[in-house]
A and B are shown apart, each in its own frame.
Chain A
Amino acid sequence: MDRRKAEETFFKWLTAICTIIVVGSALAIVVTVIIKGAPALSLSMITQTPSGGYYTGTAGGGILNAIVGSLYLAFGATALAIAISLPVALFLQRDYAMKSGFTGFVRFVLDILWGVPSIVLGMFMLTIIFFLGMRASLGAGIIVLALLELPIMIRAMDAAIRSVPDKMKEASYALGATRLETSLKVVVRQALPGLLVAILLAFGRAIGDGASIMLTSGYSDRIPTSLGDPVASLPLAIFYLSGLPYSGAKEKAYAAAFILLVIVLLVSMISRYILKKFSKYVVK
């Protein structure tokens, strides 16, 4: 009997310790970024683009190029992804499907797409860039990030829309509404919080990705003025600058990491907030 009790206590503590390790690592990462990044933050850091060239890096300026670049990339990609995801997510509802075999296949394909590593997407996009005669640019970066976002966004939107009860759709049809009207006026309204969270989720993923845009969006100390310009981004700023032996460069990298983390945390907190509060028209 004591043996069993000892075993029970042992495993209770073992699993608790493992949890502490995991939670502790999450904390350690955040704390490290804060400790290194916070001191590096200054008004000039976030409002100026780098001055003094890529290789010296120590000289003044900030990382505005990366901040704005990341926002351009992420917003552009998310907008493009929404335009594609919403029709697909609505399509996946039984209303539109001709046979459920096809929707099952589509979901299957999306699952696979979800698992494709971002460097692979980058290589794919690189080929397309050469094929179309484009250059590594903001536009190419937007496209590849949109590809990255699609599976995440569609899947989350799909889940949100599926949670709309059939009775609600039936009520709308019974009143004579068309499929499209029902989709847009009833389904989207009811699923709105879930849809917004889907968008935020995808946005957060895109802004944090580096491998795919490393190959396709170039890098620049300046803020792009057109879709054809190369663009800096926070992940790449961190990657390149942290590797330089100059302390000024490293500081910029830490600041960039801090800002990136803040953005991602903000996105996640807003998602949580939306799920809780933003349900004015949603029927429970």
Chain B
Amino acid sequence: MFSSRLMLIVTFFVVVVLFLIIFVLLRKSWPILSTKSLGELLSWSWLPSQGKFGFSPFILGTLAVTAVAMIIAIPLSILTAIYIAEYAPRKLRAIVKPFIDLLAGIPSIVFGLFGVLVVVPLVSGYLAPLFGTTSTGYCVLSAGIVLALMVFPIMISICVELFEAVPGGVREASLALGATRWQMVKHVVVRSSFPGIIAAIILGFGRAFGETLAVMMVVGNSPVTPSLFGPAYPLTALIANNYGEMMSVPMYESALMLAAFILLVVSVISIIAARLILRRVERRWAVG
């Protein structure tokens, strides 16, 4: 049948695209991967005009902002999901859920703008003095806060779904034994959703890891050792800030392509891991 042949071709094309992306980025990174040693690539000096491409500040920058984002987002997301799924009366639930969807739909640039207008002054004016330091506000903490806001909806909606999927019988059994609601939630609901929560965290991590615009606007873009109230320079910002100059310096293009390739590999691994975990969770509920 002509049409099913066409559909097969189109589908094939879509699958090929992913492999093409991997292939292209790897190929473009190859020059720098083959000529520089791992030690050079992991060094601290980034001076493209001198041929020095040490990625450590950027890798650490990405890790720092992602870590701060996850530290903020994980407890808040899980606790919020618990409230929505377990404590909120039906009417309240109907009001809160759209707000989570709203957060999910806001474009990242708007988060960035909010970061610049609200988070940065908040950090430099209140939080830094509170902790006894000074800060311009364009720092790891601000980036972490902004990223956490972006990650909330993913984690919250997955967790709510997980919690709502816990069968009523097991909940009742716990309550019938005289457990308080919190005890039931802690021992039964959260515990049995644990693998799914891990998957949600991984997906949230992937989102924070790959974010560009919002982070760029508040992180300070300075390739130094990251500190909470000091600036940093994540890989995504590195690429976005320098893609314009990359053709003029030898190896620069390859270096930025390598940065992109690193981002690609990490995101692919995260998705696979999260997918595998969620598959197992689905299967468990389907059978039992």
Contact = CB atoms under 8 A, between A and B. Distances in A.
B118 to A, nearest CB: 6
B199 to A, nearest CB: 12
Contacts of A253: 113
Contacts of B164: none
- Could you say which interface size class chain B belongs to? 35 or more
Q: Is the interface of A mostly helix, strand, loop or mixed?
A: helix
Contact of B14 (A19, A150, A207): A150
B260 interface: yes
A270 interface: no
A88 B24 contact: no
Nearest to A236: B109
Contacts of B111: 29
B87 A124 contact: no
Contacts of A242: 113, 116, 217
Interface string A157-182: 00000000000000000000011100
Contact of B109 (A21, A115, A239, A268): A239
B103 interface: yes
Q: Is the interface of B mostly helix, strand, loop or mixed?
A: helix
A229 B107 CA distance: 25
Interface of A: 4-5, 7-8, 11-12, 14-16, 18-19, 21-23, 25-30, 32-33, 36, 84, 87-88, 90-92, 96, 105-106, 108-124, 126-128, 147, 150, 154, 178-180, 204, 207-211, 214-215, 234-235, 238-239, 242-243, 253-254, 257, 260-261, 264-265, 267-268
Interface of B: 1, 3-4, 6-8, 10-11, 13-15, 17-18, 20-21, 24-25, 28, 75-77, 79-80, 82-84, 86-88, 96, 99-103, 105-114, 116-118, 149, 152, 156, 180-183, 185, 203, 206, 209-213, 217, 236, 239-240, 243, 256-257, 260, 263-264, 267-268, 270-272, 275
21 contacts: A15-B86, A18-B75, A21-B76, A25-B103, A26-B100, A106-B11, A111-B275, A115-B268, A116-B264, A116-B268, A117-B267, A123-B243, A180-B1, A180-B4, A207-B107, A210-B107, A210-B212, A211-B108, A215-B240, A257-B110, A267-B105
Given A23-B99, A242-B116, 15 more contacts: A12-B87, A12-B181, A15-B79, A18-B76, A26-B102, A33-B110, A111-B271, A112-B271, A116-B210, A119-B212, A120-B21, A120-B260, A123-B256, A238-B112, A264-B107
